[in-house]
A and B are shown apart, each in its own frame.
Chain A
Amino acid sequence: MCTYVTEKIAVEGSGKGAQGWFPLTHATAYVDHPVHAPYGHTVNIDFLAPERGPSARVAVELTEEAALELVGAITRALAAAPPGLAGRAQTTGASRGTSTSAG
């Protein structure tokens, strides 16, 4: 089936696609047919920069179990680092000048 449901969020960061690295602006997550993974349905996550066109995309197609493990892994990795270390308010490495202070 096609769920027609797409979770879309704004993101800050970078991704590496077919043309190399580029700044990301959005990410989407949806459960639907994969293009490549050998399953009927997968959790599909796209990291996007729409203003750079459709090909500015980093895509993954994960099983439900893998997607949930990924959520856990992200949460554990963040828990192991000081709060804010990778936050947008940091000054070190904020090279594009688009971050704003969270106060």
Chain B
Amino acid sequence: MEAGTITITGHNGDEIEAYLARPSGGQPYGSMVVIHHMPGYDAGTKEMVRRFAANGYAALCPNLYYREAPGADPDDAAAFARAHGGVPDEQLVGDVDGAARHLRGLPGATGKVGVIGHCSGGRQSFLAACSLELDAAVDCYGAFIVAEPPAGFPLAVQPLLGLAPRLACPLLGLFGADDTFPSPEETGKLAAELDRLGKPHEFHTYDGAGHAFFSVDRPAYRPEAAVDGWAKIFTFLDTHLGN
């Protein structure tokens, strides 16, 4: 594979940093936009990008904090962006759109593009899938898609369930039964709404796993759930991105 840092055109025409990995060997490939989690454009996220390339997909992760913090360490950039109010939903959609356009233009790309995100990125993956023409979306434990903020809980984000009628591609959801954000009740409500709307989706909730069970270097890592989750991700992508 080839992997490295490039510049892409994101929301509002802004030039932003992004991490690209793609297969070598000349076979046509589908592509994935990887949305990094709130702690930033970090080493763990770049590993995920390379994992897609190792499995035959191009993958591109835009640095959502590049505007505010070019060249900063990922944790400093995340703290800086957070102190400045975080990433607006509109900007996120523009950056994912820019990443998807870049991927479609790569030599060897089939033109099919999916999106994946974990934690805050899971919510943003759903947002992107309801806002853009994509071919597949993966939501790994994204909270606040369905749930209203509890009373007295001053959230800066709003639920996205109202966007569900605009979901334009199949959605794979991977969740932990022990998670509280999103809780199994919340993901159940999302599944019920997608059923009602006739939107194709496939949800899996793992017993013995909580939030962030894919994070290999964190105490939340649950190998059985993560290994099975990765297998389900690639089965889903092989079906909908056509590799």
Binding site for B on A (CB under 8 A): 1-2, 4-6, 8, 26, 28, 30, 32-33, 35, 38-40, 44, 46, 48, 50, 53-55, 57, 59
Contacts and interface: CB of A to CB of B under 8 A. Distances in A.
B156 A4 contact: yes
A50 B84 CA distance: 9
Interface in B181-233: 181, 210-212, 218-220
B37 interface: yes
Contact of A55 (B73, B211, B219, B220): B73
Main secondary structure of the interface of A (DSSP, over half): loop
Interface of B: 37-39, 42, 68-69, 72-73, 75-77, 79-80, 82-84, 86, 119-120, 143-144, 153-157, 179-181, 210-212, 218-220
A28 B86 CA distance: 13
A91 B75 CA distance: 37
A57 to B, nearest CB: 5
Given A1-B179, A6-B82, A38-B219, 11 more contacts: A1-B181, A2-B120, A5-B153, A6-B83, A28-B79, A28-B83, A40-B220, A46-B83, A50-B80, A54-B80, A55-B73
A5 B120 CA distance: 13
Contacts, number: 78
B39 A35 contact: yes
Contacts of B83: 6, 8, 26, 28, 46, 48, 50
13 contacts: A1-B119, A1-B211, A8-B83, A28-B82, A30-B82, A38-B219, A40-B211, A40-B218, A48-B80, A50-B83, A53-B72, A55-B73, A57-B79
B177 to A, nearest CB: 15
A51 to B, nearest CB: 11
Contact of A2 (B38, B68, B73, B84): B38
Nearest to B74: A35
B75 A35 contact: yes
A54 B156 contact: no
Contacts of A5: 153-156
A62 to B, nearest CB: 15
Nearest to A57: B76
A54 B76 contact: yes
B82 A40 contact: no
Contacts of A1: 119, 143, 179-181, 211
B42 to A, nearest CB: 8
Contacts of A54: 68-69, 72-73, 76-77, 79-80
